[in-house]
Structure formats: C-alpha cells, structure tokens
C-alpha cells in the first residue's frame, strides 16, 4: 500500500498553528471528521487516549498520532505541517513539525501496522523531511510523497 492510496489533498494541513498536543490534534482531525462518521470531540478523545499510552511523537521532528475507530471501514490518513514546531511530548523532547494522522478500523491491525512501518521508513530520510518542511502548497506535499514513496 502506497501512502497516496490513502492520503488525499483534503486531509492535508500545511500550516498548523497550535503549539501543544491537544491543539495539534484538534487541527489535524478537522478535515477528516466528515469522512469518519464520528464527532470532532470523539476523534480527539480517541487520539488523546492513545497518547496516554505513550507519545506518538517519535523524535526527529515527527509525530504519527493514530487511533482505531469502530465506525470506520477504511484507513484515513492526514498530514500536517507545523513550521514553528509544537510540544508533542516527543521522545527526544524536541519540537515536532511533521505530522501524519492515521485512523483505522478497529479490526485492521495488519494494514495499520504496515502503513505505520512505511511512514516510519520514509521519515528516516532527512532529505524527505527537509523537502516536506519547505513545501508551501498541498500539491508540493503530494509530489514529494509520491516521489519518495516510489522508492519503497
């Protein structure tokens, strides 16, 4: 599964304003609410409950908040960019800039893990992260992901 099989232009936020975890999650879920059949508040609650188990701020400026929903029948992927960085309680205690939001059906552990692994591999590439940070338009984000995702 390629990232662009599930990431759509409508779920990309290229200028996140929040500086804290809850605010970032609020902004990331806003464009996906209609796709989930779940309220904004419920989505944030699911993601915050997952964060209590351990931060999805994996370090290196990356956050991959994720959660499972009973109401979903397909994977939903969102992307967010925080130019100033946010306190996402990252493992390295540094600001987080690049976010991928992953929402999956409760019974799709395999797909969930495959997409998380693919994202993690891509995000180890410093050039990829740098290109994402410099992007100013949704189309640029999609082009950068398309180009790098082809290599895997």
In which domain, by residue range, is 86 found? 3-149
Two tokens, residue 77: 């992927």
Which one is catalytic: 40, 66, 97, 112? 66
- Please answer whether residues 142 and 9 qualify as being in contact, where contact means their C-beta atoms are separated by less than 8 angstroms: yes
How many domains is the chain built from?
1
Q: Which letter does DSSP use for residue 20 in this model?
A: B
The rounded distance, in Å, linking the Cα atoms of 63 and 80 is 9
- How many residues in the chain? 152
Active site residue 66: yes
| Burial (CB count <10 Å: 0-12, 13-18, 19+), residue 47 | buried
Two tokens, residue 55: 């931060």
78-136 tens-digit pLDDT: 999 999 999 999 999 999 999 999 999 988 778 888 888 889 889 999 999 999 999 99
CATH number (domain holding residue 29): 3.40.930.10
Q: Which letter does DSSP use for residue 87 in this model?
A: B
Q: 151 or 56: whose pLDDT is higher?
A: 56
pTM value surpassing 0.85: yes
Q: Which pLDDT value is given to residue 152?
A: 57
Burial 8-21 (b: 16+ CB within 10 A, else e): beebbbbebebeeb
48-81 tens-digit pLDDT: 999 999 999 999 999 999 999 988 989 999 999 9
Specify the DSSP element, H or E, that contains 39: none
């Amino acid at each position: 599964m390629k990232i662009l099989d599930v990431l759509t232009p409508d779920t990309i936020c290229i200028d996140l304003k929040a500086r804290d975890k809850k605010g970032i999650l609020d902004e990331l879920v806003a464009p996906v609410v209609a796709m989930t059949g779940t309220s904004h508040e419920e989505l944030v609650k699911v993601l915050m409950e997952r964060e209590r188990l351990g931060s999805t701020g994996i370090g290196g400026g990356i956050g991959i908040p994720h959660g499972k929903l009973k109401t979903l029948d397909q994977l939903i992927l969102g992307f967010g960019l925080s130019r100033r960085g946010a306190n996402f309680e990252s493992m390295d205690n540094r600001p987080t800039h690049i976010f991928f939001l992953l929402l999956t059906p409760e019974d799709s552990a395999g797909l969930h893990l495959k997409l998380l692994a693919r994202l993690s591999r891509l995000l180890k590439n410093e050039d990829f992260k740098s290109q994402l940070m410099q992007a100013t338009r949704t189309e640029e984000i999609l082009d950068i992901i398309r180009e790098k995702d082809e290599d895997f």
